[in-house]
A and B are shown apart, each in its own frame.
Chain A
Amino acid sequence: MRRAIDSIATSGDPRAPTILDALTAGRLSTRSNGAPVIRTDAGVVDAETGAPVPDATGLRPVRLNNAVRRTLEAAQGAIRLFAPDAATRAAAAEAVFKSRDANSLPALDRAIAAERDASVRTLMAQARAAALLASADSPEPDRLGAVATLAARGDLEARSVLASLGPQPAAVAVAAAAAVVSIDRMQQVWSLLQGAFYGLSLGSVLLLAAAGLAITFGVMGVINMAHGEMVMIGAYVTFMVQEAVRAHAPWLFGASLFIAIPLAFLASGFLGVLIERTLIRFLYGRPLETLLATFGLGLVLQQAVRTLFGPTNREVGTPAWMSGAGRIGGVTVTWNRVAIIVFAVLVLAALMAVLRYTSLGLRMRAVTQNRRMAAAMGIRTPWIDALTFGLGSGVAGMAGVALSQIDNVSPNLGQGYIIDSFMVVVFGGVGNLWGTVVGALTLGVVNKFLEPVAGAVLGKIVVLVGLILFIQRKPRGMFPLRGRAVEQ
């Protein structure tokens, strides 16, 4: 049986893959006269020719045991090494790598000679190395070369091959052990980098959520507990934009987020101006009352969204260019996380540019630094207050667009971020955008590095308790404002 499979596999017959597939799937049978046939969904066909067999009776399925099944898998791998599709060939090489079947060495050698695609050839060479080391009769120099090839591959699978070699010549065993150590070291570096990426990603999310708060709380000193709801509204704007795009212009779907960003900014920003004019301006100088009133406002907004859109999560799609993941070295990066990191950087740069280079930013800074002097210079301070608050809220809305890609879009979306955002702003130091950046990234990275050690929830608790203690050591954050503005 195993010899038969090998002869089919090495025959080069175009029907060979079909027959072996049928054997794997348990569809290969023999007729009463011994002729092999394949049962397909359309009917019974002759295994050798593919011609239909009309009077198929007395079929006996060909049974497999585990030894035969392993031979079969190797044989299928060998056949696929010559498939016209590069992805199939790569998968076949990986299969051989995993099975480490010495029988596929001749097929691999032929395949490597014929291969045009460099990356597939590398995979095949690695598979060949694994098979060489597993084979009983390969010479020592070949084995040493194989160890070097696997060490260069450097991932966990290569490590497991090297760590589980059978009896080897002494020199090969030593080389393999050294390779395992070097792979372990590389893996540590990669996992550190992977953790850093996760941390950076969480940090950028925190940064986005906190950037608006850094304006309203940090610069204006207004405690806006409805900040999370501004983020939530931004996410719902994304949802509505996508619904409209799906209904009227499906070809625009890839760009739907770019349409949503300015709209979310305008929606949340406009709401922010409205809130400032109707509520917050009556409460300046009374921070605790502001806190309570805006908390109430947050409840109203949540319930309003719940009434309008229902309490369940809304489906927000991810454009094709943002989905999926890639590998950079040993680090897996998901494209939506990368997009959010880039977006956070852009939002922050834009925010700083607005504050520093525009006339509005100049007025904002003037009003926060010395209100009366600014008013005396002819700045309409109430309008600047409203616009500053609108800017902070608008940034929160843009954060909502980003968060809609990684979190559930539900009326409770904002609640999950509000405590974290305040922590970031307070940790970084009130009134200082750079402090917010450092605060967000520190919290993100610390959180992600604590997670493997302590678990996700405990890690978060440790961070919170650490923050509570930190604020008590340094009540004004890492980068406190100095000078007159500090005095209350």
Chain B
Amino acid sequence: MSSRITLLLVLGGALLLAGLNLLTSGGHPLHVPTYVVSLVGKYLAFAILALALDLVWGYAGILSLGHAAFFALGGYAIGMHLMLGIAGRGQYGAALPDFMVFLNWKALPWYWHGFEWFGFALVMALLVPGLLALVFGWLAFRSRVSGVYLSIITQALTYALLLAFFRNDMGFGGNNGLTDFKELLGAPLSADRTRCALLVVTAATLCGLYLLARALTRSRFGEVLVAVRDAESRTRFLGYRPEQYKLVVWVLSAVMAGIGGALYVPQVGIINPGEFAPQNSIEAVIWVAVGGRGTLHGAILGAVLVNLAKTILTGQFPDAWLFALGFLFIAVTLFLPGGLMGLVRPRRAPEPAPPTPSRVVREA
């Protein structure tokens, strides 16, 4: 039931906005300006990130504070393709991207080769986050790093990437990142039609990933995953290998985040190291928490609502946004553990509250 509503809202909403934007003219009362189309496209790209995060946090109990890193890596892959598409039309009119001309580089670094082809960039947008997650997850889950420790090292991971991408020598545009994109697959990025197409593609991708995640969580695999989340040792003693289940869902989630990033960059027109900032990853966690951890449609709802609030507040009352976000974190964790979805439908089995507000951790 909820899945049909979600699909209808996401896909129908996107088609409606795109249609209103293209079929009506500027003065029409129902006209939707192009910036709104791109804004909603951005929200939906964030929703993909939230979906990815919910899969690992809501179903496998892995709180990642570095998921924006995978998102940004996917974004950089597409950004590199778009950057090479500028060739000859940049500030310096050179075949190399502007920032390389600025650094006095004579040729493309080896890792930029291949990104001329859209297909290659797309594969890289999936492969790079996936491989990083595979290596990181294999090391982490094998040695049973879990809980808070895992959260802290995921944060260190995205922080290290942040510092690395800030370096000009890395060859990813340093501080300024990649921007000034002109066209994608021959379609000018500034055109209304391209914007609308990107929104619809994002919405369709989100729906596809949603259905995939839903099928996964309802399968036997998903049930084991929830068992790992709730009682990892017990699951292990029953003969399962929790680290393998975690690794699979972790890599899948990273690839999903990469897809989100790849859809995000053409719509906002820029990718810079700021996307790796630990705060971005933590903000993504709050989207999931607001919507309802462990409900896939909740993650989508949370991402859209919180970002909508962010757009409105940062525009109207710039000072109020961080207060609002901060209090949102506190309020959701204290009063709304199930998120908004928890209000709609109370959890089937409420978690037993600790007997006293005591530190279970420390008790023998």
Seen from chain A, the residues whose Cβ lies within 8 Å of a Cβ on chain B are: 220-221, 223, 279, 281-285, 287-293, 295-304, 306-307, 368-372, 381-382, 419, 422-423, 426, 457-458, 460-461, 464-465, 467-469, 471-473, 475, 484-485, 487-488
B334 in contact with A279 (CB, 8 Å): yes
**Which A residues touch B143, using CB under 8 A?**
472-473, 475
C-alpha spacing A371/B332, complex, angstroms = 28
C-alpha spacing A281/B51, complex, angstroms = 31
**Which A residues touch B285, using CB under 8 A?**
292
A295 in contact with B156 (CB, 8 Å): no
B329 in contact with A458 (CB, 8 Å): no
- In the complex formed, the residue of B with least CB distance to A458 is B167
Q: Chain A's nearest CB lies how many Å from the CB of B338? A: 12
> Which segment, of B146-154, B188-196, B210-218, B255-263, faces chain A?
B146-154
**Which A residues touch B163, using CB under 8 A?**
457, 460-461, 464
A296 in contact with B149 (CB, 8 Å): no
When A288-B147, A460-B163 are in contact, do A371 and B326 touch as well, CB less than 8 Å?
no
**Which A residues touch B289, using CB under 8 A?**
292
**Which B residues touch A485, using CB under 8 A?**
362, 364
Question: For window 123-177 of chain B, which residues contact chain A by CB distance below 8 Å?
Answer: 136, 139-140, 142-145, 147-149, 151-153, 155-157, 159-160, 163-164, 166-167
- One digit per residue, 1 when the CB lies within 8 angstroms of any chain A CB and 0 when it does not, for chain B 38-56 equals 0000000000000000000
C-alpha spacing A302/B279, complex, angstroms = 13
Q: Chain B's nearest CB lies how many Å from the CB of A466? A: 10
- The one of B149, B282, B363 that contacts A475, using a Cβ cutoff of 8 Å: B149
C-alpha spacing A299/B362, complex, angstroms = 29
A300 in contact with B326 (CB, 8 Å): yes
**Which A residues touch B164, using CB under 8 A?**
457-458, 461
Known pairs A304-B323, A371-B358. 6 more at Cβ < 8 A?
A: A283-B333, A292-B282, A299-B323, A461-B163, A468-B157, A471-B145
**Which A residues touch B282, using CB under 8 A?**
292, 295
Q: Chain B's nearest CB lies how many Å from the CB of A270? A: 19
A-B residue pairs in contact (CB < 8 Å), sample of 23: A279-B334, A282-B357, A284-B357, A285-B357, A285-B361, A288-B148, A291-B148, A295-B282, A295-B329, A299-B322, A300-B323, A303-B319, A303-B322, A306-B322, A368-B362, A371-B358, A382-B357, A457-B164, A458-B164, A460-B160, A464-B163, A472-B139, A487-B364
**Which B residues touch A297, using CB under 8 A?**
326, 329-330
- The one of B144, B278, B361 that contacts A221, using a Cβ cutoff of 8 Å: B361
Interface residue B90 (Cβ < 8 Å from any Cβ of A): no
Q: Which 6 A-B pairs have the closest CB atoms?
A: A296-B329, A300-B326, A299-B326, A303-B322, A464-B160, A285-B360
A291 in contact with B337 (CB, 8 Å): no
**Which A residues touch B322, using CB under 8 A?**
299-300, 302-303, 306
C-alpha spacing A281/B148, complex, angstroms = 18
A461 in contact with B63 (CB, 8 Å): no
**Which B residues touch A299, using CB under 8 A?**
322-323, 325-326, 329
When A368-B362, A468-B157 are in contact, do A287 and B148 touch as well, CB less than 8 Å?
yes
Question: For window 324-364 of chain B, which residues contact chain A by CB distance below 8 Å?
Answer: 325-330, 332-334, 337, 354, 357-364
B354 in contact with A288 (CB, 8 Å): no
Q: Chain A's nearest CB lies how many Å from the CB of B321? A: 8
Seen from chain B, the residues whose Cβ lies within 8 Å of a Cβ on chain A are: 63, 65, 136, 139-140, 142-145, 147-149, 151-153, 155-157, 159-160, 163-164, 166-167, 278, 282, 285-286, 289, 319, 322-323, 325-330, 332-334, 337, 354, 357-364
**Which B residues touch A223, using CB under 8 A?**
148
A289 in contact with B359 (CB, 8 Å): no
**Which B residues touch A295, using CB under 8 A?**
282, 329
C-alpha spacing A461/B329, complex, angstroms = 29
A419 in contact with B278 (CB, 8 Å): yes
**Which B residues touch A464, using CB under 8 A?**
156-157, 159-160, 163
- The one of A284, A419, A458 that contacts B159, using a Cβ cutoff of 8 Å: A419
When A287-B148, A288-B148 are in contact, do A296 and B326 touch as well, CB less than 8 Å?
yes
**Which A residues touch B325, using CB under 8 A?**
296, 299
Q: Chain B's nearest CB lies how many Å from the CB of A288? A: 5
When A285-B360, A419-B156, A488-B361 are in contact, do A293 and B330 touch as well, CB less than 8 Å?
yes
B151 in contact with A288 (CB, 8 Å): yes
- The one of B65, B327, B357, B358 that contacts A300, using a Cβ cutoff of 8 Å: B327
B139 in contact with A467 (CB, 8 Å): no
A281 in contact with B357 (CB, 8 Å): yes
- The one of A293, A304, A488 that contacts B334, using a Cβ cutoff of 8 Å: A293
B159 in contact with A285 (CB, 8 Å): no
B363 in contact with A292 (CB, 8 Å): no
**Which B residues touch A487, using CB under 8 A?**
364
C-alpha spacing A292/B290, complex, angstroms = 12
- In the complex formed, the residue of B with least CB distance to A302 is B322
When A371-B362, A487-B364 are in contact, do A285 and B157 touch as well, CB less than 8 Å?
no
C-alpha spacing A487/B361, complex, angstroms = 8
Q: Chain B's nearest CB lies how many Å from the CB of A279? A: 7
C-alpha spacing A11/B150, complex, angstroms = 79
Q: Chain A's nearest CB lies how many Å from the CB of B16? A: 34
Q: Chain B's nearest CB lies how many Å from the CB of A456? A: 10
- The one of B139, B142, B149 that contacts A469, using a Cβ cutoff of 8 Å: B139
When A426-B149, A457-B166 are in contact, do A419 and B140 touch as well, CB less than 8 Å?
no
C-alpha spacing A206/B286, complex, angstroms = 29
**Which B residues touch A301, using CB under 8 A?**
326
C-alpha spacing A206/B210, complex, angstroms = 44
